[in-house]
Structure 1
Amino acid sequence: MRIMETTVPDLDGWPCRSPRQTTGILLGLSLLLAGCGRSVIQDGAPDRQVDVSGIPDAVPRVEPRSRYGNPESYVVRGRRYYVMRSSRGYVERGIASWYGTKFHGRRTSSGEPYDMYKMTAAHKTLPLPTYVRVTNLENGRSVVVKVNDRGPFHENRLIDLSWAAAAKLGILGKGTGLVEVRAIDPRHPEPRTLHASSSKDDRDSAGSRATVKPRLFLQVGAFASRANAERLLRRLGLEQAFIVPGYSRQRRIYRVRIGPLPSVEQADALARRLDARGIRDPHVVID
């Protein structure tokens, strides 16, 4: 269970959930007005027992790009997001969250109704629809979901899973999980991999195969000059801060990271403290 806030985005885009859609300009306005008022409403799980082992993964299929939910860019809470032209080759690690009863039955950004019992997800920039495999890096369990919505707009969250997908991945209890998200090309079959299961034996087996425990870091800067990286390191004054030399686009780069951090909650708290010190937009790195 988690608390979610809906926010009125700028007119440049309309990624909020639960819109009532019409056409043209009226469509955009209805998306802004129907479900995006400023309010804090409790989200949660269904009030009945559901056997998620009987809920099948999404089946990737070739579909046209959604008519709705794919603006070139949009703005939420003062930040602009750019929708990717293609999901080909997309792989990213980050923090997954989930959403449930608060949005059940409401319109998603693509225009499809949100069904918390289906294998779907929200992503800020992937084209709608996109099929992705989401793997829980902490227990090895994996599911295929259809991305048909926009979000999550909480800092340092990569993907917002439907309740069913989160249940199958085993992240309901904590509310978040460390995941890898990998786009699937529906035109080419995917190699077989470990799938999620709700039985205890299968969960234990999956956990035993997730042999490398993921480590969570916050990256707070990346510089072409090592001297600048060292300057930030001194400003941080944190024992866990360090410099990671590397390359980006064939150029030498020095990344400043903090960690490993013991939990998502610790990473969130640290990000807030850094922001208060004027160190903006740290982002999560998982290895």
Structure 2
Amino acid sequence: MLSPFPPTNWSKACALWIHEIHVAFDPPVPVVPGKGGLLRLMRWSTPRVAVLVALSFTLHCTRPPAYLPSPTAGPLGGGSSADGQAYVEEGVASWYGGDGDGFAGRPTASGEIFDPEQYTCAHRTLPLGSFVEVENLDNRKRAVLRVNDRGPFVKGRVLDLSKRGAQDLGFAGQGTTRVRIRSVNAMGLPTALDPAVDRIDPFVVQVAALSDPKNIDSLTRELENTFGPVSLQDTVTRGGLSVKRVRVGSYTSRQEAEQAAEEITKHLKDRGVEPFITRQR
């Protein structure tokens, strides 16, 4: 078949042919969910699902942490933090740092100066520098405090709070209250105690706090002959009396310290002393 255009006009013919071509696109058709195939449905639903996931994540992260004490955390009244459980203890708490008791401005067991307006407390065995959540069992108020001192050295009490801590827990006006203690981290979340502390700051059995040099010497020699090394620690009572705390042993496990305390109590049962467990520092 012969071309209608001369050979010299091929380029012109091609240009005219292309010029006559019109490309038209159909207008977009809205996608109706459930129609148009799986791919269209996924394109329609993906951004909506992403919004729901982001909203759920935001609500979860902004919710305040809530937790309950573990039923297997140490026994109340002297709990341990074995097996990764938080230390839990219940008992009577008192407070110190009030006007006239003489503790404000004095060094604590940790070496820092005691400030009644800080959130600190004294405990016999919890590691210095650790944190505890204290709950007043009478009104359910709570506060997180840092252990920086030793005490209380009064029978039947488990914790001595600063004046500020007692005010926040609502018992500064009554002197004592029943509390629950739980070991936590600096953020207030339950945490186990570090077992390495038992080697760094071992347990001791405090037998008595005496002021008479003769009584101190007599008791020291008697305890050394029966139970081994005895240490003396200088301190001042709330009434301003200088005394020496007479302590026996250096134990890296609480169980050993408890056994020694029982033996010492039996040995001195007629002396009116009540040995208890504390730390070297």
Structure 1 or 2: larger strand share?
A: 1
Whose Rg is larger?
Answer: 2
TM-score normalised to structure 1 length: 0.36
Structure 1 or 2: larger helix share?
A: 2
Higher relative contact order (CA closer than 8 Å, sequence separation 6+):
1
TM-score normalised to structure 2 length: 0.36
